[in-house]
């Protein structure tokens, strides 16, 4: 043991009491054990590492870490307790042309920070070059302008917390932003709106459960930086896809008064959601960090070990490979960068009790070399990890690099945001030609994308709307994006939205157009919730949320992007509840295996096929019908007795049979219901038209049903027992 050797950065800086012990190289980060704290930092290029401790007034004490093992610099200080703010200074080579960017004048956040306190004060000191001269070296001290890492108390009373562990087939995901979801809710106490505590408030839990949601997918909550360019324009990084710490929950969504209190608040949120049988899935951004390209700031990993953590251009290492469009890409080919990601994932599962992850631009994680490699080291590590492999793993299966669009290309245990589902369903309901055959694939779980890899319908995370793009209300109200508020001259955001304004751009007093828009919203929700696979609802779509045509609200932390609870569309909300309840009540909409199209029944018996497709005239669809460019309408029979597998008691899964009629044509069509062998009588259970259009009486087999333009109708086969009761 040795006495703490402290170098004072300021004459008034306090010297820590107690002793400095060698400590341990594992675990990385700051680990409080009840008596003191172990500090451990990886850097292969460092020549010396200083731990910097800050008091409440910002005074700094620097302590040289005494030991290094396996390129991990470490030390243990018995006197350090939770709440202590700290950072690092790394001494080593500054040779940008060789990819080395150590500069001890830059205070660095611990990559393993469990909490961060403070904000970035964007100025020259955060950068290792002088503005206007990228080849220069700037040695301004950045400590006063940097947030600080925080030692946390890892102990929390989880009580009887258990993960809900919903089967994918039974899961309904709700993508939500912590602040946007809760900021204006009138029944949530004002002081906690926009926080983790607000997400866990009883009124929010009741809302989620009322629409059948049992998994909430939170947009990034890892600590992120507000881009300096946005701050200069009076905006902010609202979405949070600008991570600077993979372990720390962002305090911007916390009402905690103490440094590090956001960790306890986040855990309390998870515990409350679990008590309500709702899983917590995190949208995680492991593909890049807020340090950006070669002109970005030096905040953490860049100054610790730049070539270990980032992909550099092979023949010019001052530059970064950028598969994300954000300036840099994490170096998943390096063992310590991989360890950082895997340690983060395990931490959020074991310590924070989350139930899964949605990986932003996940194709980037497969890029060991240049091309996307389906068997990259990251996926191999996930597959063999006994903790991470057991939670929900959802890929956004694309990035902006060559060959980055990988829908259908991820390993078997992964599910994917199905971008083809989104595009096809949008095109079908806006009446695009020749979409009928692909619409059938998407409705039935996208076997064309997933069956060849041994996956099942639940590999497809179905969505029509996500945070990136139009809201559902805007999808049916605008043909063009309206992003003027972002200050980028309309150059941001997707220009090809596959949207249809139904006859007028934006708000209108035309009753007919508004009725058509409402019907289209109901069409999308019905299709989404009754498709095979896992449905994902974007927050507020069930309430008619609008962003006034802005399809890229990433920088709008204001009423434009927050849910307007005071003006919620209660009719659309009730419709969503009805269709979601129908899905939950009937396993025929939640099949675990793909349809075969073959007859099903008891052993040795014939029977009806598990699925059958009909043209509006009542004839079964022929091959040539699918490719007809004018065909925009179809009916599909789902056999409730054709569900493979057995329930928990070993009994065959038997359900009602259903007929779904879709008319995306611009005129009403007369549908002839199937013959009696498919069902003697049919009852309308969902009708996306106005309420008075729904037939009140049951319909006989082979009866004619007029389905209005741009309308979906769902009918349930009335069982023999129900027939006898009615008779």
Per-position DSSP letters for 47-108, written without gaps between them: SEEEEEEE-TT--EEEEE--EEETTEEEEEETT--TT-EEEEEEES-EEGGGTEE--TTS-B
- What pLDDT, in 10s, does the model give residues 350-407? 999 999 999 998 888 877 544 555 557 888 899 999 999 999 999 998 777 777 778 8
Predicted pLDDT of residue 104: 98
Q: Which residue bears the tokens 């038997």?
A: 654
Per the document, the length of the chain is: 727
pLDDT top residue among 631 and 286: 286
Of the candidates 705, 706, 693, 700, which has an alpha carbon nearest to the alpha carbon of residue 718?
Answer: 700
Write the pLDDT tens digit of every residue in 613-625. Answer: 999 999 999 998 9
pLDDT tens-digit series, residues 630-656:
789 999 999 999 998 777 677 788 999
**Distance of alpha carbon 178 from alpha carbon 467, whole angstroms:** 12
**What tokens does 3 get?**
């006495």
Q: Both ends of the chain: CA-CA distance in Å?
A: 90
More confident residue, 281 or 379: 281
Structural domains of the chain in order of their starting residue, each with its CATH number:
595-718 (2.60.40.1180)
Kindly tell me if the per-residue pLDDT of 5 is higher than 60: no
pLDDT-based confidence at residue 723 (cuts at 50, 70, 90)? low
Mean pLDDT, the chain, rounded, equals 92
Task: Tell me the average pLDDT across 703-717.
Answer: 97
Asked whether the CA dihedral 542, 466, 563, 357 is positive or negative, the reply is positive
Q: DSSP H helical segments within 385-498, as ranges?
A: 419-429, 436-443, 447-450, 472-475
2 has a pLDDT exceeding 50: no
DSSP assignment letter at 155: -
Q: Summarize pLDDT for 586-599 with one digit per residue, the tens.
A: 999 999 999 999 98
| Active centre residues (catalytic) | 360, 396
Residue 713, C-beta contacts closer than 8 angstroms, at least 6 positions apart: 660, 661, 671, 684, 686, 687, 688, 689, 705, 707
What is the reported pLDDT for 372? Answer: 56
More confident residue, 647 or 253: 253
Q: Which two tokens stand for residue 613?
A: 């497709």
Look at residue 691 in the predicted model and tell me its pLDDT: 65
Q: Which of 267-271, 362-366, 459-463, 620-624 has the lowest mean pLDDT?
A: 362-366
| pLDDT (0 to 100) of residue 14 | 39
Please state the rounded mean pLDDT for residues 293-306: 98
Q: Is the per-residue pLDDT at 12 higher than 70?
A: no
Report which DSSP code applies to 617: T
Q: Report, as an integer, the average pLDDT of 86-102.
A: 98
What's the CA gap between 261 and 462, in Å, rounded? 36
* Residue predicted with more confidence, 606 or 702: 702
Q: Indicate the pLDDT class of residue 694, thresholds 50, 70 and 90.
A: low
Going by pLDDT thresholds of 50, 70 and 90, the confidence category of residue 605 is very low
Give the pLDDT confidence of 530-579 residue by residue, as tens digits: 999 999 999 999 999 999 999 999 999 999 999 999 999 999 999 999 99
pLDDT score of 724 more than 60: no
SS3 for 686? Answer: strand
Complete DSSP assignment for 265-281: HHHHHHHHHHHTT-EEE
Share of the chain above pLDDT 70, in %: 94
Please compute Rg for the chain using Cα positions.
Answer: 28
- Check pLDDT > 70 for residue 601: no
Q: What pLDDT is stored for residue 406 in this prediction?
A: 83
Question: Of the ranges 72-76, 261-265, 389-393, 408-412, which one carries the lowest mean pLDDT score?
Answer: 408-412
What burial class does residue 201 get, using C-beta atoms within 10 Å of its C-beta: 0-12 exposed, 13-18 middle, 19+ buried? buried
Rounded mean pLDDT of 264-276? 98
Confidence of residue 499 (pLDDT cuts 50, 70, 90): very high
Tell me what pLDDT residue 10 has: 40
Whether 4 shows a pLDDT value over 70: the answer reads: no
Q: What are the pLDDT digits (tens) for 396-448?
A: 987 777 777 788 888 888 999 999 999 999 999 999 987 899 999 999 999 99
Banded pLDDT at 285 (limits 50, 70, 90): very high
Q: What is the pLDDT of residue 412?
A: 87
pLDDT at residue 368, rounded to an integer: 56
What's the rounded mean pLDDT across residues 299-319? 97
Helices (H), 444-510: 447-450, 472-475
pLDDT band at residue 692 using 50, 70 and 90 as cut-offs? low
């Amino acid at each position: 043991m040795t006495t703490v050797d402290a170098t004072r950065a300021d004459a008034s800086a306090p010297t820590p009491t107690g002793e400095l012990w060698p400590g341990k190289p594992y675990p990385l980060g700051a680990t409080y054990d009840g008596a003191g704290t172990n500090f451990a930092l990886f850097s292969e290029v460092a020549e010396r590492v200083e731990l910097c401790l800050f008091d409440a007034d910002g005074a700094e004490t620097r302590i040289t870490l005494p030991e290094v093992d396996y390129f991990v610099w470490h030390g243990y200080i018995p006197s350090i307790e939770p709440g202590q703010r700290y950072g690092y200074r790394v001494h080593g080579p500054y040779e940008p042309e060789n990819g080395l960017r150590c500069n001890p004048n830059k205070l660095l956040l611990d990559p393993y920070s469990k909490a961060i306190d403070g904000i970035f004060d964007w100025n020259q000191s955060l950068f290792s070059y002088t503005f206007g001269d990228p080849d220069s070296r700037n040695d301004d001290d950045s400590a006063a302008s940097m947030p600080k890492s925080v030692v946390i108390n890892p102990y929390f009373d989880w009580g009887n917390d258990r993960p809900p562990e919903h089967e994918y087939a039974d899961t309904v995901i709700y993508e939500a932003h912590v602040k946007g979801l809760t900021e204006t809710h009138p029944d949530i106490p004002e002081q906690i709106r926009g926080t983790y505590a607000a997400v866990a408030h009883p009124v929010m839990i009741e809302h989620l459960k009322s629409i059948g949601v049992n998994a909430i997918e939170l947009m990034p909550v890892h600590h992120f930086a507000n881009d300096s360019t946005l701050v200069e324009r009076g905006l902010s990084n609202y979405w949070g896809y600008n991570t600077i710490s993979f372990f720390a929950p962002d305090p911007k969504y916390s009402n905690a008064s103490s440094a590090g209190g956001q960790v306890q608040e986040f855990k309390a949120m998870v515990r409350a959601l679990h008590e309500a049988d709702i899983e917590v899935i995190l949208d995680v951004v492991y593909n890049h960090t807020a340090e950006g390209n070669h002109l970005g700031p030096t905040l953490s990993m860049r100054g610790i070990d730049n070539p270990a953590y980032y992909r550099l251009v092979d023949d010019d290492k001052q530059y970064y490979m950028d598969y994300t469009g954000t300036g840099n890409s994490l170096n998943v080919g390096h063992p310590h960068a991989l360890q950082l990601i895997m340690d983060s994932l395990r931490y959020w599962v074991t310590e924070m009790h989350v139930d899964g992850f949605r990986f932003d631009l996940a194709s980037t994680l497969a890029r060991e070399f240049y091309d996307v490699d389906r068997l990259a080291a990251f996926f191999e590590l996930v597959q063999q990890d006994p903790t991470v492999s057991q939670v929900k793993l959802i890929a956004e299966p694309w990035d902006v690099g060559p060959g980055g669009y990988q829908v259908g290309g991820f390993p078997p245990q992964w599910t994917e945001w199905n971008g083809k589902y989104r595009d096809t369903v949008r095109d079908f309901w806006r009446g695009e030609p020749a979409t009928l055959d692909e619409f059938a694939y998407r409705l039935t779980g996208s076997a064309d994308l997933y069956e060849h890899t041994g996956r099942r319908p639940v590999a497809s995370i179905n969505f029509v709307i996500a945070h990136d793009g139009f809201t559902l209300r805007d999808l049916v109200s605008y043909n063009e994006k309206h992003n003027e508020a972002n200050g980028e001259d309309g150059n941001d955001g997707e220009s090809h939205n596959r949207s249809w304004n139904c006859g007028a751009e934006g708000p209108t007093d035309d009753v007919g157009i508004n009725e058509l828009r409402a019907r289209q919203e109901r069409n999308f929700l019905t299709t989404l919730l009754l498709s095979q696979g896992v449905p994902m609802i974007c927050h507020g779509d069930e309430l008619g949320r609008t962003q006034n045509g802005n399809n890229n609200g990433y920088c709008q932390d204001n009423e434009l992007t927050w849910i307007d609870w005071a003006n919620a569309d209660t009719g659309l909300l009730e419709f969503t509840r009805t269709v979601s309840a129908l899905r939950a009540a009937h396993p025929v909409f939640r099949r675990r295996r793909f349809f075969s199209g073959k007859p099903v029944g008891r052993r040795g018996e014939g029977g009806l096929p598990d699925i059958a497709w009909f043209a509006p005239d009542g004839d079964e669809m022929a091959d040539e019908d699918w490719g007809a460019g004018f065909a925009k309408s179809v009916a599909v029979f789902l056999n409730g007795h054709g569900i493979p597998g057995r329930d928990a008691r070993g009994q065959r899964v038997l359900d009602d049979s259903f007929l779904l009629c879709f008319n995306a044509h611009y005129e009403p069509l007369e549908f002839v219901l199937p013959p009696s062998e498919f069902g003697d009588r049919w009852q309308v259970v969902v009708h996306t038209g106005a309420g008075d259009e729904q037939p009140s009486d049951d319909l006989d087999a082979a009866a004619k049903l007029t389905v209005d333009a741009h309308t979906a109708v769902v009918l349930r086969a009335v069982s023999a027992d129900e027939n006898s009761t009615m008779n």
